Structure 1
Amino acid sequence: MKIVVINAYVRENAGDAALLSVCLRHVKEAFPDAALAIAGMEDAATHRSFEGVDNLGSIRRYVADGGVPRSRRLLRKLVVALVGTTALLLPRALANVLLKLLPAEARREADAVSRADMVVSMGGGYLLARPGLDGYQNVFFVLLPVLLAQKSGVPVVFAPQSFGPFPGKPQRRLVGRVLRRAALVLAREDVSVGLLEECGVPARQVRRAVDSGFAFAPEVTSDWRSRLGIGTQEPLVGLTARRWLAPAAQERYERALAATIDALQADGARVVLIPQVTTDYLGDDDRIVERRTADYCRTSPLRIEERVDYRDLKGLYSECSLLIGTRFHSVIFSLTSGVPCVAIEYEHKTRGIMADLGLGEWVLPIAEVTHADLWALVSKLRANPEEYRMALQQRLPAYIAQAEEFPALLRAAAGANERERSERAEKVA
């Protein structure tokens, strides 16, 4: 059995690396003898594998490669879009011939998904569109490998993820067409289910699921307190930040974080700024934001400047007594370590998942963050963390167990697809 996991991101994004790690583990549990491959955003020439699974590169990476000039990227997009769209319109035999004209990296993914026995689009939050042409491009290039797989009769499973928004009607039509034909669609919050209904995907075709990050539990390998130079009894508060807003609003957000850091450190805690994402891709490096935030502080917080392995980073959150988390997988990493969190929402996944856990009151929208509002939640949580921890003890075990259901769902999807093939064969006979 051949299985291709598509839409992987980069290992410097600790949350997405954790999702890929769990996805690969779940696929192996479902199909122990399967041959696996990854199609993702890492250059196969630099990263030939991830946790022992071969990396093919991908169509998305090829057309968005920031290492080539913009004019060349545009040409790549035009060539791949033209060849890919034409192939989708042709009979399968002719399409296979045409796809051989794709550049090598794009051709590897196209060939792999067309010949696979199953394609798994990994969890995350990448099937969405911003206003403008970039939004249309994102939807098209995310879904192109799925369309090629479906054209060849390969079942496609969408692992637990968020969907939308989709501001354009053509975007919604394409998303609806593709997901209605999927073998399994898993949404990690109710908002995504509603957005898919707007795309014409009936709610009965979408299964509510749990973010796979809740099933990420690597062994702790580092003594983080020694690395940071703090005592075992010293209260440690973690904080994650990211670039998201227009410049003026971004500065207000960062200054609100800085004021809260100062208040925490004046109250006897030590604050560590944790870079959850440290990739050069699209300049999405949390260390840049955290340096600015630290500069706004009157008292210097602890900072981590090196790139830390996603498995090692998980252990740092377990050392914290509290997390103020903008990166949502930093919140998940902390919750699964029994650490109370105040979550700063930048996409609907944050509020949706926190509401699932009965923790909706601990969420602030990123564009509305002020020191006063943030400090009100933080001080309330510091005064009475036990109620929060008890809520986690009550709700998390079942939530984590639901995240571990993915292997069974994969086997069921494969079985259903095999039955459909047999029924079609009998009708033809």
Structure 2
Amino acid sequence: MKIVLMDLWTDANKGDEALQGGLISMLRDKHRKAKLVGVFRFGLNEFEDAKPEIQKTLGLLDEAHGGLRKTLYAGSNALKLKGAVHLLFSLYSFAELLVLLAMYKLGLRALVPAKFRIVMDDIHTADAVVWKGKNFRSYGGLGGINRQATLLIAGVISRVLNPRVFCVNASIWNMNSGVERWMVKSVLNFCQSVCVRDAGSLVAAKALGIKNYFFAHDLSFYYLNILASKEKVKREKGAMALTITKWGSAKANEQYIKSVVAAVLALVDKGITDVYVVPQVIRVAEANDVLIERLNADIKASGKSCVVHNIEEELTIPQLMQYYARCSVLVGTRMHSCVFSRFVGTPFVGIAYDDGPKWDILREFWPKDLIVPYGVSEADLVEKSLRAYTNGPALIKASEAAFSELPAHSYKNVRDI
């Protein structure tokens, strides 16, 4: 048996690494003799450049390829092209791909360049193609249509080459653009089944007209449950964790900075002496240097004894979990950092940096009012952070019944495969 996993992504986002680890682990448990072949979102043109940031997932697969569409995601290529130039490159990459697919389907396989033909053959001959779903949202305008196409192209490729396509772990937003709604609906309905990972997406899938959809919890729960069982929690008195990002407008980011700094200072007043800024995602776009500078300056001005540890090296998932485990509370702006934290028994306040339904994943097991918006006021985040810190053991205990069911339920992602 051969199973192809489509649209795998970078391990630099540890949430994605956990998702991919969960999916691969499930398939290994269900089909022990199956050959698992990964096709990454990084194009064949830059697959070698991308390998440093996909090593963990590569190690779990039997074979791996770059994607069939040219990309500029990896290393020095990342974010190089912008605006109209990027759009032109994207249109070229789609046109080239469609020509190659047409040649393959029309029986001109021998004319398809060998490196593309090998990937197409693997997809075409697979017993099942598992497409790792995306956050499907509206972007608006021509650029939005192009971006939607980049999210959907793996599903199109899969269905053109193989009728046995299963989409797993998708989030579907309420979309304003009629064109983008049609695109997402059309491609998802190519699939044998579509598994969504959060309550909001379940509602959106029905409204969108997706035919064969169902719900299963996030893939990461399965993988993290395996890893968490190997971790020993070592609390460090006076430690807290912080995951940050930079999102939206300058005004929104400024309010976010003020609120996070205020929350940390309030926790320092309650005995926090070490703040660990944990790199849940290793990407340039994740940096928020202004927040770190402001935090250090305000702690110094307060005269309090507290050290901010800005961890810059890339950590493995077990190392991340150890950082969360040593802390008494997490103020987390990455959704999966909150999941990681709960697995090691650390309470959290989640800051939802966007309006996506993926934040419902946390609401399945955690108090809804401890998931706050990116523009949260200083007073509100201070109150929520202090509550998570002072009532942490009670919050963990209250969440245990719901949380303990999630790893087994997430296995339903592969029910049809």
In the alignment, which residue of structure 1 is the partner of 2:304? none
Determine the C-alpha separation between the residues in 2 that align with 1:96 and 1:153. Answer: 17
- Provide the secondary structure at the position in 1 that maps to 2:327: coil
- Tell me whether 51-60 or 189-198 shows the greater mean CA deviation: 51-60
> Among 249, 262, 273, which residue is 2:252 paired with?
249
Counterpart check, 1:375 vs 2:382: yes
Determine the C-alpha separation between the residues in 2 that align with 1:394 and 1:199. Answer: 32
Matches within 5 A, 1:408-427: 409=415, 413-414=416-417
> Among 356, 360, 364, which residue is 2:368 paired with?
360
Contact 1:362 1:377 (C-alpha < 8 Å) held by counterparts: yes
In the alignment, which residue of structure 2 is the partner of 1:274? 278
Q: 1:350 to 1:2 in 2, by over 3 A?
A: closer
> Among 111, 116, 130, which residue is 1:120 paired with?
130
In the alignment, which residue of structure 1 is the partner of 2:20? 20
Q: 1:330 to 1:373 in 2, by over 3 A?
A: same
Contact 1:159 1:185 (C-alpha < 8 Å) held by counterparts: yes
In the alignment, which residue of structure 1 is the partner of 2:303? none
Contact 1:242 1:289 (C-alpha < 8 Å) held by counterparts: no
Contact 1:272 1:302 (C-alpha < 8 Å) held by counterparts: yes
Contact 2:216 2:409 (C-alpha < 8 Å) held by counterparts: yes
- Provide the secondary structure at the position in 2 that maps to 1:405: helix
Determine the C-alpha separation between the residues in 2 that align with 1:378 and 1:174. Answer: 41
Q: 1:92 to 1:249 in 2, by over 3 A?
A: same
> Among 387, 402, 406, which residue is 2:409 paired with?
402
> Among 314, 318, 324, which residue is 1:317 paired with?
324
Contact 2:14 2:280 (C-alpha < 8 Å) held by counterparts: yes
Residues 318-366 of structure 1: CA distance to partner in whole angstroms, max 9, x if unpaired?
A: 2222111110000010112222111111233354123322521211111
Contact 1:164 1:192 (C-alpha < 8 Å) held by counterparts: yes
The amino acid that maps onto 1:112 is D
Residues 391-418 of structure 1: CA distance to partner in whole angstroms, max 9, x if unpaired?
A: 22221111222123344x0xxx24xxxx
Matches within 5 A, 1:63-142: 64=73, 67=77, 70=81, 74=87, 76-85=89-98, 93-94=105-106, 97=109, 100=112, 104=115, 109-122=119-132, 125-142=134-151
Contact 2:228 2:343 (C-alpha < 8 Å) held by counterparts: no
Contact 1:87 1:95 (C-alpha < 8 Å) held by counterparts: no
Determine the C-alpha separation between the residues in 2 that align with 1:371 and 1:301. Answer: 20
The number of equivalent residue pairs is 394
Shift of 1:113: 2.5
Shift of 1:241: 0.9
In the alignment, which residue of structure 1 is the partner of 2:221? 214
Q: TM-score, normalized by length of structure 1?
A: 0.81
Contact 1:261 1:301 (C-alpha < 8 Å) held by counterparts: no
Determine the C-alpha separation between the residues in 2 that align with 1:129 and 1:98. Answer: 39
Determine the C-alpha separation between the residues in 1 that align with 2:157 and 2:41. Answer: 18
Shift of 1:233: 4.9
The amino acid that maps onto 2:158 is A
Shift of 1:99: 8.4
Q: 1:211 to 1:11 in 2, by over 3 A?
A: same
Q: 1:91 to 1:82 in 2, by over 3 A?
A: closer
In the alignment, which residue of structure 1 is the partner of 2:177? 168
- Provide the secondary structure at the position in 2 that maps to 1:306: coil
- Tell me whether 338-347 or 131-140 shows the greater mean CA deviation: 131-140
- Provide the secondary structure at the position in 2 that maps to 1:186: strand
Shift of 1:157: 1.5
Shift of 1:17: 0.8
Shift of 1:60: 5.6
Determine the C-alpha separation between the residues in 1 that align with 2:181 and 2:238. Answer: 48
In the alignment, which residue of structure 1 is the partner of 2:335? 328
Counterpart check, 1:151 vs 2:160: yes
Matches within 5 A, 1:45-60: 45-46=48-49, 47=51, 50-53=58-61, 54-59=63-68
Contact 1:162 1:188 (C-alpha < 8 Å) held by counterparts: yes
- Provide the secondary structure at the position in 1 that maps to 2:345: coil
Residues 196-241 of structure 1: CA distance to partner in whole angstroms, max 9, x if unpaired?
A: 2333214xx211110112221326889997xxxxxx5513211111
Q: 1:64 to 1:39 in 2, by over 3 A?
A: same
- Tell me whether 288-297 or 246-255 shows the greater mean CA deviation: 288-297
Residues 154-196 of structure 1: CA distance to partner in whole angstroms, max 9, x if unpaired?
A: 3112222312343321221121122223122111112112222
Shift of 1:16: 0.7
Contact 2:103 2:112 (C-alpha < 8 Å) held by counterparts: no
Q: TM-score, normalized by length of structure 2?
A: 0.83
Over the residues paired in the alignment, what is the CA RMSD in angstroms?
3.1
In the alignment, which residue of structure 2 is the partner of 1:294? 295
The amino acid that maps onto 1:189 is D
Contact 1:38 1:55 (C-alpha < 8 Å) held by counterparts: yes
Determine the C-alpha separation between the residues in 2 that align with 1:95 and 1:83. Answer: 17
> Among 163, 185, 191, which residue is 1:182 paired with?
191
Shift of 1:153: 3.3
Residues 86-113 of structure 1: CA distance to partner in whole angstroms, max 9, x if unpaired?
A: 677x697317649826x95x66654533
- Provide the secondary structure at the position in 2 that maps to 1:57: strand
Residues 40-69 of structure 1: CA distance to partner in whole angstroms, max 9, x if unpaired?
A: 245431418522423312246625566186
Counterpart check, 1:345 vs 2:352: yes
Shift of 1:7: 1.9
- Provide the secondary structure at the position in 2 that maps to 1:56: strand
